Amino acid sequence: MRSTATLMSLLFPDTCVLCDAPGDALCLRCLRLLEPPPPIREPPGTHTVDALCSYKGAGADLVLSLKRRNRREAVPMIASALCVALDARRAEGSRSPRITWLPTTPKRRRTRGFDQAELLAKAMSKFSGWPAVKLLDRRSGPQMGLGRQDRVDGPVFTARHSCEGELILVDDVLTTGATIAAAAEILLAAGATTLRAAVVAVAP
């Protein structure tokens, strides 16, 4: 008899989220198409920013495959790569950080059925063992499609809990940095001592 895993692989074969080639969730060819992130200027309130790629070409397609097509297969790969980058920066003997995320708007969550930043944060928690906890509520609309000044003004967040200690703040794309800066202000006011951002891609 075929195992359940074998049957699942026949019914739902693994394919690349970008080119649909059979195999890994992100094939070697598409992985090589990802461009390194441009120089990053840390948004106010953050101590470091780690990113995997530039938000252009294959990098933009990777993010949009998750947000718009619900292609989650590459999330574990993305999460593990971000955790490795973050762990390399940690001071030896430091306490484990907590992972939180920039929540999308309630409307977007209802439409998509998920919050992409939350998926990434929880996958990072599973890989690293660092706890993931929702610390922010979002009180304003989406940033996508706004002009630069509206983006710079940033959304409004509120803290759900006390936020002491080192935090890792997860999002999908860093554009102007206004969203992360707005969240950082709230988290630091609620007690965070160190805030490190982790994003999939950075807009050039």
pLDDT in tens, 43-82: 999 999 999 999 999 999 999 999 999 999 999 999 999 9
Q: Quickly count: other Cβ atoms within 10 Å of residue 93's Cβ.
A: 5
pLDDT score of 139: 80
Q: What tokens appear for 79 in the block? A: 């999460």
Residue range 120-171, pLDDT digits in tens: 999 999 999 999 999 999 986 554 544 555 444 568 899 988 899 999 999 9
Domain ranges of the chain: 34-202
Burial of residue 136 (number of CB atoms within 10 Å: 0-12, 13-18, 19+): buried
- Written as six digits, the tokens of 6 are 């074998």
Give the count of beta carbons closer than 10 Å to the beta carbon of residue 39: 7
Kindly write down the DSSP assignment for every residue of the chain, as one continuous string.
---HHHHHHHHS--B-TTT--BSSSS-HHHHHHPPPPPP--PPTT-SEEEEEEESSTHHHHHHHHHHTT---TTHHHHHHHHHHHHHHHSPTTPPPPEEEE----HHHHHHHSS-HHHHHHHHHHHHH---B---EEE-S---TT--HHHHHH---EEESS---EEEEEEEEEESSSHHHHHHHHHHHHTTEEEEEEEEEEE--
Q: Which two tokens stand for residue 108?
A: 């977007």
The confidence score (pLDDT) of residue 58 equals 97
Res 3 pLDDT > 90: no
- Nearest alpha carbon to residue 166 among 91, 70, 79: 91
Report whether 42 contacts 199 (CB < 8 A).
Answer: no
pLDDT of residue 38: 96
Give the model's pLDDT for residue 141.
54
Q: What is the mean pLDDT of residues 82-103?
A: 85
Closest Cα to residue 51, out of 89, 22, 77, 85? 85
The CATH code of the domain at 34-202 is 3.40.50
d(CA 109, CA 101): 14
10: confidence class by pLDDT, cuts 50, 70, 90:
very low
